[in-house]
């Protein structure tokens, strides 16, 4: 028997084909985030009105698939009051008529699945629209609905205008102010809590009827074949309970933030990441896992949006005792939080290693995000010359990648006049601060070509197109060597290679002040492994790669480069000595260290033979 085990081990080692566990689709998928109202307007309701729709997305599926994306995430498309563009939901089970119908969504899901891709929806459990019938019933204290939201008549705090409030809790969106609001016509109802806007009251997630309803929403869309949910603003799900006198606890003032109008002026110990939140996430995970088993199918996933600290994000993944699974993919916002235009190589390496070593539990999957509908676009934040670098980083690091629509062509933020601002928080700001506080700028129409409004719509778009659309658009870059679009396409297709789907070894190190590099290596050296070199800095740097990565071969072969690089595909780079990286240069190269493998195989065979000879009991 012992000899048989030795022989099998011997053959596996010799073949280089190590058995590996099959991965679920989400573990390596590349996600494409679409903001539907600015993607493509097809005139779903008879004529174009400058508002994108589901049929527009379906029309562009060949484009999305051709780029190599594997999953689409749609920001909310449900019946909305349009004050927060979809995040204020009036009916969770109905597609808003501007986007189309439930049947249009079903058609889109089927078309996505026919291409072998996945599609997930946004799920907004923290709050709904103040126009939602549930809130209306709650205002009127209709039986069983009176405590669907957080109501109180107890006031223990006075705001800056000496007006009594239940506590000092602040809202996030728009101008600074209390998160507690009144209904003028119903003074007897007292105050209701709304983290984001008085038009978006927070649900009382301790009410089982509310969580049962939310679960029914998930089931509704799962039954329509949706593959999962991105869960919005979930860190705000629960708030601390009032004491026996009904008094809500004030939050402590943050001594590090003197600006009282900044949300971080308070330390949000009572309104974020409350203990009950994690049990709710674990219950959703179990619900989805049960659904998967019931349907005998692939994973239905949840991605959670939380900008919380590392220790808290760990709990989003897994309970402390390891017994309860949480979100499949808690969003990793480290690139957004920690990387600035003046970040250096150490910042990048620390950001990546800290996340992988200290946050992601063993066996769990990470993800990388550089932008979304709440952030300045990459080209606006870091400069157009860094677009390829950041797209390379997001797609080549281990785990899943998330790309916000338009980043593949290096789109910039729009720059609308104040009068053209539409979102609720921004319209309440003064014109000066609006320029940078409005999220609408990051949600400009997709630039398809240089026709009217970038080809998004012949009607006036709800947000003006970026003024760069005449040159920065899909048509201008399609098929053009070293365009952002073609580089992104190459990166996404390369991601499908074994080294990225299954890589066994990842190692990232600084090379110089602004240059860093990482490897994606397979134990099976019959396959290609990859080496990614990036200079984030605005000046050339000389790097000595072999001193940091001594096991690399002296020569590696270029696969993909960013736009500034002069290296061509399949060109050999000699890294046995120092060489110069251009400013903003990024290089993805491959190598095959099968020679090293042959040596290790011989050593292993030798070890086995010795073991058999001396008849060790192993």
Q: Is 354 a catalytic residue?
A: no
CB 400 within 8 A of CB 435: no
Contact with Ca ion (CB under 5 A): which of 28, 38, 75, 126?
Answer: 126
Shortest Å distance, C-beta 150 to Ca ion: 8
Pick the binder of Ca ion from 27, 104, 198, 202 (CB under 5 A): 202
Q: In angstroms, rounded to a whole number, what is the distance separating the alpha carbons of residues 355 and 393?
A: 15
Q: Which is nearer to Ca ion, 51 or 192 (CB)?
A: 51
Token pair for residue 497?
Answer: 């290679």
Check 88, 198, 227, 232 and give the catalytic one.
232
How do 118-123 and 71-74 pair as beta strands? parallel
Stretch that binds Ca ion, among 106-114, 124-132, 241-249, 404-412 (CB under 5 A): 124-132
Minimum separation from the CB atom of position 272 to Ca ion (A): 9
53 near Ca ion (CB under 5 A): yes
Contacting range for Ca ion; rule: CB under 5 A; set: 68-76, 123-131, 132-140, 329-337: 123-131
Residues 6+ apart with CB under 8 A from 470: 450
Task: Give the separation between CA 74 and CA 34, rounded to whole angstroms.
Answer: 5
In degrees to the nearest 10, what's the CA dihedral of 475, 481, 486, 487? Answer: -140
Beta carbons of 584 and 562 less than 8 angstroms apart:
yes
Token pair recorded at residue 479: 């098929």
| Nearest residue (CB) to Ca ion, 41 versus 388 | 41
Regarding 180 and contact with Ca ion (CB under 5 A), the answer is: no
Q: Which of 561, 547, 559, 555 is nearest to 593 (CA)?
A: 555
CB contact at 8 A, 487 and 391: yes
Per-residue mark of binding to Ca ion, 7-46 (x: CB under 5 A): ----------------------------------x--x--
Taken in order 444, 446, 451, 457, the sign of the CA dihedral is negative
Closest distance to Ca ion from the beta carbon of 194 (Å): 9
Closest by CA position to 376, among listed 419, 406, 331: 406
Q: Report in angstroms how near the CB of residue 86 gets to Ca ion at its nearest.
A: 14
**Is 232 an active-site residue?**
yes
Closest approach of Cβ 534 to Ca ion, in Å?
A: 39
- The residue (of 36 and 406) whose beta carbon lies closer to Ca ion is 36
Does 367 engage in binding with Ca ion (CB under 5 A)?
no
Out of 79, 118, 236, 373, the only residue in the binding site for Ca ion (CB under 5 A) is 236
Q: To the nearest whole angstrom, how small is the minimum distance from the Cβ of residue 202 to Ca ion? A: 4
C-alpha R_g of the chain: 26
- Closest approach of Cβ 104 to Ca ion, in Å? 11
The answer for 383, left when phi > 0, alpha when psi is -120 to 50, beta otherwise, is left
The residue of the chain with the least Cβ separation from Ca ion equals: 202
Burial class (CB in 10 A: 0-12, 13-18, 19+), 281: buried
Instruction: Given the residues 122, 305, 424, 486, select the one marked as catalytic.
Output: 305
Stretch that binds Ca ion, among 234-242, 257-265, 445-453, 517-525 (CB under 5 A): 234-242
Residues that bind Ca ion (CB under 5 A): 41, 44, 51, 53, 126, 202, 236
Residues identified as active-site: 232, 305
């Amino acid at each position: 028997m012992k000899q048989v085990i030795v022989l099998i081990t011997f053959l596996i080692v010799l073949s280089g084909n190590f058995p590996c566990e099959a991965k679920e689709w989400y573990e390596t998928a590349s996600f494409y985030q679409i903001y539907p109202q600015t993607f493509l307007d097809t005139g779903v309701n008879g004529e174009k009105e400058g508002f994108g729709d589901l049929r527009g997305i379906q029309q562009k599926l060949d484009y999305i698939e051709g780029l190599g994306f594997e999953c689409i995430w749609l920001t909310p498309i449900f019946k909305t009051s349009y004050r927060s563009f979809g995040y204020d939901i009036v009916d969770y089970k109905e597609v808003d008529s501007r986007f189309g119908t439930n049947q249009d969504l079903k058609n889109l899901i089927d078309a996505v699945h026919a291409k072998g891709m996945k599609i997930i929806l946004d799920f907004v459990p923290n709050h709904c629209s103040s126009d939602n019938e549930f809130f209306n019933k709650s205002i009127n204290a209709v039986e069983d609905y009176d405590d669907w939201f957080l109501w109180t008549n107890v006031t223990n705090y006075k705001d800056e205008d000496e007006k009594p409030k239940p506590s000092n809790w602040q809202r996030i969106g728009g101008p600074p102010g209390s998160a507690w609001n009144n209904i003028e016509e119903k003074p007897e109802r007292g105050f209701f809590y709304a983290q984001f806007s008085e038009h978006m009251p927070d649900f009382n997630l301790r009410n089982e009827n509310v969580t049962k309803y939310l679960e029914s929403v998930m089931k509704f869309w799962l039954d329509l074949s949706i593959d999962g949910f991105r869960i919005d603003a979930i860190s705000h799900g629960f708030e601390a309970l009032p004491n026996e006198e009904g008094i809500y606890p004030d939050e402590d003032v943050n001594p590090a933030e003197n600006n009282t109008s900044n949300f971080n002026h308070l330390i949000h110990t009572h309104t974020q990441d409350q203990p009950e939140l994690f049990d709710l996430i674990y219950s959703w995970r179990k619900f989805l896992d049960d659904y998967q088993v019931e349907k005998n199918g692939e994973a239905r996933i949840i991605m959670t949006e939380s900008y919380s600290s590392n220790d808290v994000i760990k709990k989003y993944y897994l309970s402390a005792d390891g017994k309860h699974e949480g979100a499949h993919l808690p969003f990793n916002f480290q690139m957004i939080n920690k990387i600035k235009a003046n970040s250096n190589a150490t910042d990048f390496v620390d950001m990546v290693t800290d996340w992988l070593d200290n946050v992601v539990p063993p066996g769990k999957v990470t993800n990388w995000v550089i932008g979304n509908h709440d952030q300045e676009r990459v080209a606006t934040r870091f400069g157009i010359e860094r677009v390829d670098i950041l797209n390379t980083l997001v797609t080549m690091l281990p785990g899943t990648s998330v790309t916000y629509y338009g980043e593949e062509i290096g789109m910039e933020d729009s720059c609308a006049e104040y009068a053209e601002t539409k979102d609720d928080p921004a319209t309440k700001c003064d014109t000066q601060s609006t320029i940078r506080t409005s999220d609408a700028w990051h949600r400009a129409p997709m630039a398809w070509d240089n026709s009217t409004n970038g080809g998004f719509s012949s009607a006036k778009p709800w947000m003006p197109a970026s003024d760069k659309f005449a040159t920065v658009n899909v048509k201008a870059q399609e098929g053009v060597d070293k365009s952002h679009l073609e580089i992104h396409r190459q990166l996404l297709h390369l991601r499908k290679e074994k080294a990225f789907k299954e890589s066994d070894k990842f190692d990232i190190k600084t090379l110089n002040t602004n240059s860093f590099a990482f490897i994606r290596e397979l134990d099976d050296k019959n396959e290609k492994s990859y080496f990614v070199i990036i200079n984030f800095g605005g000046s050339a740097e000389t790097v000595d790669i072999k001193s940091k990565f001594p096991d690399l071969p002296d020569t590696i072969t270029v696969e993909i480069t960013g736009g500034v690089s002069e290296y061509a595909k399949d060109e050999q780079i000699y890294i046995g000595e120092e060489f110069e990286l251009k400013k903003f240069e990024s290089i993805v190269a491959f190598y095959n260290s099968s020679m090293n493998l042959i040596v290790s195989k011989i050593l292993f065979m030798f070890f086995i033979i010795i073991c058999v000879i001396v008849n060790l009991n192993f």
